[in-house]
Structure formats: structure tokens, C-alpha cells
Structure 1
Amino acid sequence: MVTMGQLTATLDPLGLTIPIVPELDDLTVGGLVMGTGIESSSHKYGLFQHICTSYELVLADGSSVSCSKDENPDLFYAVPWSYGTLGFLTSAEIKIIPAQRYVRLEYHPYHSLEDIVKAFETESRRPDNHFVECLMFAKDQAVVMTGTMENGCEPDKVNRHKLLFSDIVNRVLFGPHKEQQLNVISKWYKPWFFTHVRGFLKRGHGTEYIPLRDYYHRHTRPLFWEAEVRMLH
């Protein structure tokens, strides 16, 4: 029952991460293996099972078995998407890669379906993009986001955002279109991520830095857009 939130809380201080971190911090390793795990880094690394190198399962007869591409490979490749029908997953060995402190995220708004599809395909093929995501707000309204991991964020921008309601301070001092600010989106007073993204449809292209762990769990608070829908009903 190890969750994505537990994994990132453990690995982030060590400067490490797993290549694919699905956005909700309560998602478990077992669920992502047995079901489907996909994320904005999947254009580079595939689905969640593609970063797993071995599994251990308890089968229906009570026996414990290990599997990998070299040991019991038929079982290893059958486990993903099996939804627990083959056995109870008790452990998984997952690849770990070096991480950096921030994600430099660019927001690209588009207003036609053709442009949206073209941009998403193009950005997904660029090897320098660590993350690619598209949020659709209508058939012809979307924001394509591209991100790269960065260790540096300009010191003055970091210090400003240590203040409570610092985003308001920045708007007063620098205007609403100030580029490349640090946005700590996990703060309680921050807008839900999808509503923040929606604003770029009117504001146009923008760039900002987000702490890596904040970026990973950007959709946790609103459950994507479900919180807004439930509140309206």
C-alpha cells in the first residue's frame, strides 16, 4: 500500500525520484501496476509497469513467487492490468533516477483543435521535455504544458515566495504577467491547478517554476476538476 505521496516524500530530500509519478498522492504502487499508471513523463518512460523491474506475488494457492523479465517472464508481463486476478502483489522493484529541485513549466494556450493536436504531438516527441501535459477546457480550447527539471531558480524569486500571499505581492510589485516566478502550488491559498492553468487561455503564454514535489501532486487537491463539479452539485 505504498503511495505516490510516501514515495516522493522519501525520495525528494535525497535528490531522487521514480521516472513516472501519477498525480494523485494517494495512488498506490499496487494499483498502478495492476491497473494503469500514466503521467506527463510517459512520453519518455512509458506506463508505470515499464519502470518496474520485478514483482513478488502471493498466488491463489498461498505460494509466494518472484518474477522479472528473466525469472518467470510470462507472469511478469501478465501482471500489469491484471487487476489482481493472477495474485496479490506484495512487492515491486522500481527504477530510481536523479531528480532536480524544480520544474520549469511553460504554458502554451491554443484555440483550435488542429493546433492543440499538432502541439501535443510535437512537444511529446521533443527529447528535452521531461513533462508534457494537455488540459482541454473545450473542444477547441486547451493549454499544452511542457516542463523540464531544473536545479536552479533565481534567488529573488524564491525569497519573494516565502511570504504569505506572495503571489498577490508579486502582482502588486511586478504585474500579473511577470514571467518565471516560483509558484508553490501546494499552499492552501493557491487556486486549484486546473483553474490556474485555465487562466492562461486569456493571459497567453507563461512560464514559472514549481517545486518538483508540488508539480508531481498538482492535481491532488481538486482531484483534477472533480472538486469543482461536486461543489456545483
Structure 2
Amino acid sequence: MDRHKEAVERIRHRIAQFHQNKTPFRVYHGSTNSTRHANFDRDALVDISSLNNVISIDHTRKVAVVEPNVPMDTLVRETKKLGLLPPVVMEFPGITVGGGFVGTAGESSSFQYGFFDRTVLSVEVVLADGQVVHCSESEQKELFDGLRGSFGTLGVLTMVEIQLIELERHVEVTYHPVSSINGAMEMLQEEVARDSDADYIDGILFSHNSGVIVTGRLTDKTPSSTLPLRTFSKPWDEWFWIHAKSLSSRTTPTTELVPVEDYLFRYDRGAFWMGMYAFKHFMVPFTWLTRIILDYFMHTRIMYHALHASGHTDRYIIHDVAFPAPNAASFAHYVNNTFGVYPLWLCPVRKDGRSSMGHPKAFTGAVAGKSEGEAYEGPYINIGVWGPYPSSEAEYVRANRELEQKVKELGGLKWLYSRVFYTEDEWWEIYDKNKYDALREKFHASTLPSIWDKVRDHGRKQHFGTGIKGLLKRLVLKRDLLKGMYGVYKAIRGGDYMLSKKAKTS
């Protein structure tokens, strides 16, 4: 804890200097799972990348106290040692605790526990004027609630206290085949509403007439001939979605045991199914053997680094959107008819999910079973749409803007890790500017960027450099295949892809 206090004091001092000089600054965490363009100026940021330690775990209270840059795999590994587990574990190992609290982060347990921020008991935050504040449901509640989905625009998170649950060794996973979009949405809602002991519920649509709803239950059962063990973490294991697809054509559900950590990070290898497109891009056969050979490159930490370096996210439709549950099928049909992008990820979310997502206004539009003008207060279904959209830049922007308008019409809210194409006026029609600005004023956050400043589309700014090296980078990054190879090279080499390099001076 002494080391933590010293680090917080350094951060507090730097923030206070920025505040005194009225200098805007940004916060640097050291990693990201965002697909937005980012390039930080080293002279105008507060570096909190060293805050990556688990401070304590209390087995009696079932509570972990951690710093914000602790990633999910570290958190799970450390809590497992004491027979405990976070209730909501994001599917990519590198997603951090801090990102989960101030961003939007949910998983297949979110139908029960809500988004990740709902499992947080209290936080320590340095306000933009240098004050260190502790807040929770009972202390500074207005700030605590305001920090949810604030994307670091109300203060700098430095410590997080998380509720934990009892660990069990396996997840008993059942794959329920579905044969339509409407059928998938209905089964999701039925499973959520059913008085059952499911701990996890999500789904995958492989086409408009094929998919699975996947339920999971924590258990200490041991494998047997009728309950086989299935793993997803070894290089020779099949990717989760491919295995699930192989079961979608069956006429009855299939049940198997999965080690708990393999289940929690089941989408890491292949980044759901986005890794499949890397094989196509490099013209490599997409087979079980090639997936084994290239397994190192198919984990999300490597893939995100490569994507940022190459710029390939600029030609993919990448959105997660939480919809009022009755409107989710309409959006899935729209995606089917307009983009034909599959698979689609489906994840039910508790009804308080909207208040975790960037300070939105209530949705009063059309929802089945609700009067027009009345605020919707029911459960949500998240739909993940991720797939290639080869086109000109103008067509790419047009398609994304059309999608965003459909999202707005149906009362959906985007997870803001992806590029935002709304205009500022359109943005503030969805989000509550008056309430949000009042919070920023009250907690002295004017030297921090607003949510809009952080998420609005800035376009891609590539720094090629000068001389022969700059010329070669220009040539490489104008060729799709070479761009991909450059991204892989940068990912292998490591280093930072977010901080801009300082110009050399003589």
C-alpha cells in the first residue's frame, strides 16, 4: 500500500500542476481494447500505466482491492488462489479493471450482475484539481455514479474495490440450437426470465436461420462419459465459436464441462471470430492446422496491437450495441439485410445497463409493451457486429452513419470503444449534456476532455516520419497486404502504439 500511496501522490502532483496552469491533459493507461484512433502527446498526459497491482484480496469479505490497470487474466489468477472469482469477467484477458469501470464492459453474466461497474464497491479517484477522493454508494454517491461510463472525463481512477463470488472449478456449458433471429431473441429472454441456476447466458447467430444460445452454470462436477471435458485455451483446441457452430445443426442441446478460466476467456483466441479475417487477408487457408501454427498471433493482445499499427479497423464494421430487448431482433434483421455480416454476438444485460453507458438520456421511443413517450426501464440485449466492409472512405462513413441512425431509432446505445460517426448535435440528442456538464463543473473537470472530445471521430492521423524511413512507411501503408504485414511486425516487435514520439532536437 505504501508503494500505491507514493504513486498516487506523484499522479496527484502532476494533475495539480496541470490544473494550476489551466492546461488540458489526457490520461495514459498503457493499453487499450478500443478501435478508435488515438495518439497521445507525451507532454500533455498523466501516465498511470504503473498502477497495475493487486493490493489485497479479503476472502472473508469476498473483496479485492486493485489498481486500475490490472488486467482480467491477472485478476482471475489472483482471486482463484483464494477460491474466489469476479462476478463479471470481460472475455479478453487484457481488458483492465479501470477500463471496465469507467468504460462499458459486460459479459455473459451481465444478465444477472449488470455491467462490470455494478460489481465495483468503491473507488479512489484523483479529481482534475488534484484532490484525492474515495467514493461509493454511501460516500460521494453522485460522483461514484457519475464515474460509470465517464471514460476518465471526471477524474483519474487510482484504486478499485471489487465484490467477488465463490469459485467453482468448471462451467457446465449447454449449447441450445436456434433456427431464426426471432427465435434466438426469444430464447435469450426466456432463459433470463426463467427461475434457473444459470450463471452465464449469451448467444451467437451464424446466419439468419442458424445459431446457438449458450448457458453456463458454475459447478464442481468432474468430467464423465456423459459430461465430457472441453478446453479452449491450448493451441490445438478449436476456437470457441467454431466449436459452437459445429453444434448448431443438432436438434437437441449439447452439454459439456469447461474449466472456468477456459470459459471466461473462450473468445480470446481469434478475438471472437475477427481472427478469421486475418487468414483471408493474408490468403492463408483457414484450417485447424494453420490455426495451430499461427496461434501466437491469434490472441487479442497481439491482434489489437497489429490492428492499430496497420489501420485495418478503418474498413471493418465494428460495433457493440445494447438495445431494449424487444427491439433487438429488428436490429439483427437490419444488419442481415443491409450488411450480411455474421456471426453476430448476443448478450443479455440487466435493466440498469443503460445508466452504465456514457450518461445517456432515457429512451422514450417505440418499444413493444411500452407507451410512446414513457421511459423504457426493461432489460437489454447487446448485439456485437464485427466484420469487413471493403469500400471507399466515403462509403464506409456513410454506412456507419446509417447504422448509427438505426441504432438511435431503436433506442440502442453503442459501447464507445469503437469509432463514433455521430455529429456533435446528434451525440447530444442521445446523451444528457446538462446533467453531465453539471457534474464536470461540480468536480472541477474542465481540464479533462469531455466524453464527446474523447470519442468523436478524429479520422486517422498517421505519422510517417521523414527521410527514407518515412517514404518506405508511406509506400507500405498504402498497400493492403503490406499494411497487414506491417501491423504484424509492429505487434511482434512490441513497444507503444499510442504515444506519439517526441521530435528530435539538435
TM-score band, normalised by shorter chain: 0.7 to 0.9
The equivalent of 2:215 in structure 1 is 146
SS in 1 for 2:177: strand
Over residues 164-213 of structure 1, what are the superposed CA-to-partner deviations in whole Å (9 max), with x where a residue is unaligned? xxxxxxxxxxxxxx742101211110111111111112244211000001
> 1:230 offset after TM fit, Å?
2.1
Please state if 1:18 is matched with 2:65: no
**Which SS does the other structure have where 1:137 is aligned?**
strand
Q: Which residue of 2 aligns with 1:171?
A: none
As a proportion of its length, which structure holds more strand?
1
Rounded Cα–Cα distance in structure 2 between residues aligned with 1:222 and 1:26: 14
CA distance in 2 between counterparts of 1:201 and 1:44 reads 25
State the AA in 2 paired with 1:222: G
Question: Which secondary structure does the structure 2 equivalent of 1:120 belong to?
Answer: helix
Aligned to 1:181: 228
The whole-number CA distance in structure 2 between the counterparts of 1:142 and 1:179 is: 23
Rounded to whole Å, the distance in 1 between the matches of 2:81 and 2:171 is 15
Letter in 1 for 2:202: E
Deviations, residues 23-72 of structure 1 (Å, cap 9, x unaligned): 11100011111111111011111111111111111111122111111111
Q: Helix, strand or coil for the counterpart of 2:149?
A: coil
* 1:55/1:93 contact within 8 Å kept: yes
Q: In the alignment, is the contact (CA less than 8 A) between 1:3 and 1:27 conserved in 2?
A: yes
Q: Which residue of 1 aligns with 2:75?
A: 7
Map residues 63-74 of structure 1 onto 2, 5 A cutoff: 63-74=131-142
Shift of 1:86: 0.6
- d(CA) in 1 for partners of 2:271, 2:222: 28
What residue is the counterpart of 2:200 in the other structure? Answer: 131
Task: Find the residue that maps to 1:81 and give its secondary structure.
Answer: coil
Q: Which moved more, 1:55-64 or 1:143-152?
A: 55-64
Distance in 1 between residues matched to 2:226 and 2:244, nearest whole Å: 15
2:148 corresponds to 1:80: yes
Alignment-mate amino acid for residue 232 of structure 1:
K
Q: CA deviation at 1:117?
A: 1.4
Matched, 1:46 2:114: yes
Distance in 2 between the 1:224 and 1:179 partners? 28
Corresponding residue number in structure 2 for 1:230: 278
Q: 1: CA distance between counterparts of 2:94 and 2:273? A: 16
Structure 2 portions without partners, runs of 5+: 1-68, 282-506
Identity among equivalent positions (%) equals: 36
For 1:128, give the aligned amino acid.
Answer: D
Give the letter for the 1:142 counterpart: G
1:110 aligned residue (178, 189, 213): 178
Give secondary structure in 1 for the equivalent of 2:248.
helix
Question: Could you say what secondary structure the match of 1:89 adopts?
Answer: strand
Q: After TM superposition, give the deviation of residue 138 of structure 1 in Å.
A: 1.4
SS at match of 1:11: helix
Query: 2:433 aligns to what?
Result: none
Task: Measure, in 2, the Cα distance between the counterparts of 1:192 and 1:88.
Answer: 37
RMSD between superposed Cα atoms in Å: 1.3
Q: In structure 1, what is the Cα distance between the partners aligned to 2:218 and 2:203?
A: 18
Q: Contact 2:210–2:249 (CA<8 Å) still a contact in 1?
A: no
Give SS of 1:7's match: helix
Task: Give the match's secondary structure for 1:54.
Answer: strand
Separation of aligned partners in 1, 2:79 and 2:121: 18
Is the CA contact 2:125–2:132 (under 8 Å) kept in the aligned structure 1? yes
Residue pair 2:171, 2:216 contacting (<8 A) in 1 also: yes
SS of the aligned residue for 2:277 comes to helix
Amino acid at match of 2:204: L
Q: Which residue of 2 aligns with 1:160?
A: none
**What is the total number of aligned residue pairs between the two structures?**
211
Runs of 4+ in 1 over 4 A off after TM superposition: none
- CA distance in structure 2 between the partners assigned to 1:75 and 1:138 by the alignment: 43
Deviates more, 1:7-16 or 1:103-112: 7-16
SS in 2 for 1:134: strand
Q: What's the secondary structure of 2:242's corresponding residue?
A: helix
Which has the higher Rg, Structure 1 or Structure 2? Answer: 2
**Given that residues 179 and 206 in structure 1 are in contact (C-alpha distance below 8 angstroms), is that contact kept between their aligned partners in structure 2?**
no
- What secondary structure is seen at the aligned counterpart in 2 of 1:185? coil
Using the TM superposition, give the Cα deviation of residue 102 of structure 1 relative to its aligned residue in structure 2, in angstroms.
0.3
Separation of aligned partners in 1, 2:141 and 2:248: 47
1:89 corresponds to which residue?
157
Letter in 1 for 2:108: S
TM-score when normalising by structure 2? 0.41
Farther-moved stretch of structure 1 (108-117 vs 82-91): 108-117
For 1:196, the aligned partner's letter is H
For residue 13 of structure 1, report the CA deviation from its aligned partner: 3.1
2:265 corresponding residue in structure 1: 217
> Normalised by the size of structure 1, how large is the TM-score?
0.87
Deviates more, 1:129-138 or 1:118-127: 118-127
Q: Is the 8 A contact 1:43 1:125 kept in 2?
A: no
